[in-house]
Structure 1
């Protein structure tokens, strides 16, 4: 059995959901395989995951959706959307359909705490390894479309050197604090922020080249994660890895990155008591081989995915804090 066959077989009747939570199995399977190269380990983990978690199953006898637009934000149409996307991928190919979805609906990239983007990036990476995983791309796209929740895009650009200062201004702004406190859920908080003039004026995106902005956002997220172990901050990091992996599909990656930055800032504001300050302690020397070996003993899917994202981001940007954050997630 190949990794593609394993992912398809284990997920053939699964939806992207586990009640109100997200089904992480296909993402965890590929991350574990990429870290270990060990199919037996992945199979063992898959059996554990299936036994421990109740994944929502596909509805039967569903009809093909008329269009992607008709499925937008309609979770109950996942199966119908999937039938349509499988057909379109067979006829038009992965690249064309992924490009279409990401460029028509970029404001949906943070839906489900970035999971729509993350699952799509894993699916595309898998399909590049093995053609069989085209089916997983269809599943990921159907999830992206049907889970769609629209964000917005901030326009005020700031120097990267001001990122902590500007974040603290937002966190401590009385109107924004009052707005967030009045909302009953994270989803309502996000919607309220995007509809709020103060947030849209005071929120920010970053100046600089593509690489500088990516490093700048990482430089904000890692110290916040170090001090909090927040699952929201964790997904801002794994989501960034996903966005970068999907770079080639965006007609305007700078615009996509600004949307992503906007979504990150909005998500961060929904988490109470996060501390925004630059790291001042020295980094201990850590070895990726040791970190990965530790990770492979974990049963926690977020630990596996976060370690993989930190490792891959390190290969591109050589930020030592990525090692420290991965090690912290593994060891607690």
Structure 2
């Protein structure tokens, strides 16, 4: 994923190779153990078999038909690995690599994390929804764990019922604004994935039979992820201000050793073409300055 983002940010072939060599030191070999149980979502030990399954589907029916056939079901578990499965699939499609697409689908299937059944409400809008989540969970006592563990604790808590429904009037414009504002105001690792995850969702939504339903699932997952952080709620409006140009920001991001900085910069640049929010540039400038870039 990061290699694609680096290339899109204008990195040289030498820089891309150097990052690859550096990052490979962090990788562990893929487990090859396979069980004989029927394929079932949410079973990480079935990754190899799911990958083979999707590879066959892709080779037989092609990318578009395979995604149209499976994403409507997978989207209900979009929380998978804190949006990483969604993000990985978007990058695999951009690379036009069948093996990577199969691996991304298998990752999504095996890390599948559904929350609750979708229900919509007129009780609050998207901004009020986030405010409710903050009010209910900002001092919540979490047990140890990673993002997905905290999300499970969020939806298991009795107060989750008060934020379980989705605003009827939810729009991509609202989600774009809130995801970048909350990240920009916090520099939070979890909320960073809300931005990159939303970028991935925007690139995949045309494969869904009902993109609005898909947006509802994404928002449901985002609100749960937001509630799992301990950040102060960002409520200020962003005023127009001079910002570095995207070529400048992307050139500097290509020098980062942080894969999240590189991917975030690429996602924000893409989203800024669709949603004219100055907060995208501000978020990247702030992050790059912190890294001394």
Residue 40 of structure 1 and its aligned partner are, at CA, apart by 3.0
Q: Does 1:48 align with 2:22?
A: yes
Distance 2:68 2:168 in 1: 26
- Give the secondary structure class of the aligned counterpart of 1:172: helix
Count of matched residue pairs: 288
5+ long unaligned stretches in structure 1: 1-26, 128-132
Shift of 1:136: 0.8
Shift in Å, 1:303: 0.4
TM-aligned CA deviation for residue 41 of structure 1: 2.4
Q: 1:225 to 1:59 in 2, by over 3 A?
A: closer
What is the Cα deviation at residue 197 of structure 1? 5.9
Alignment partner of 1:83 is 2:83 = no
- Rounded to whole Å, the distance in 1 between the matches of 2:245 and 2:160 is 41
1:18-75 CA-to-partner distances (Å, cap 9, x unmatched) read xxxxxxxxx1011111221633322221111113x1x121234x569786xx141111
Partner of 2:228: 270
Q: Deviation of residue 163 (structure 1)?
A: 4.0
Residue 328 (1) aligns with residue 286 (2): yes
Question: What is the Cα-based RMSD across aligned positions, in Å?
Answer: 2.5
| 1:276-327 residue CA offsets vs partner (Å, 9 max, x unmatched) | 3123555233211111111111111000000000000011222221111121
From 131, 151, 157, give the equivalent of 1:168.
131
Counterpart of 2:161?
Answer: 200
**Residue 181 of structure 1, aligned match among 113, 136, 141:** 141
Within-5 A mapping of 1:89-100 = 89-100=58-69
* 1:83-112: CA deviation from partner (whole Å, max 9, x where unpaired): 222222111212222222211222211111
1:297 aligns with 2:255: yes
Q: Which residue of 2 aligns with 1:58?
A: 30
User: SS of the residue aligned with 1:114?
Assistant: helix
Q: Deviations over 1:135-161 (max 9, x none)?
A: 1111111111111121233522467xx
Indicate if the aligned counterparts of 1:75 and 1:147 stay in contact, CA closer than 8 A: yes
Partner of 2:71: 102
Question: Contact 1:78–1:146 (CA<8 Å) still a contact in 2?
Answer: yes
- TM-score, normalising length: structure 2: 0.88
Alignment of 1:231-242 (within 5 A): 231-242=189-200
Q: What TM-score results when the alignment is normalised by the length of structure 1?
A: 0.78
Say which structure, 1 or 2, has more relative contact order (CA 8 Å, 6+ apart): 2
Deviates more, 1:262-271 or 1:282-291: 282-291
Return the alpha-carbon distance in structure 2 between the equivalents of residues 65 and 106 of structure 1: 26
Work out whether 1:155 is the aligned partner of 2:120: yes
Q: 1:155 to 1:183 in 2, by over 3 A?
A: farther
Which residues in structure 2 correspond to 1:130-145 (within 5 Å)?
133-145=97-109
1:191 positional shift: 2.6
> Where do residues 198-277 of structure 1 align in structure 2 (5 Å cutoff)?
198-203=159-164, 205-208=166-169, 213-277=171-235
Tell me, in whole angstroms, the C-alpha distance in 2 between the residues paired with 1:214 and 1:285: 24
2: CA distance between counterparts of 1:312 and 1:121?
Answer: 13
Identify unmatched segments of 5+ residues in structure 2: none
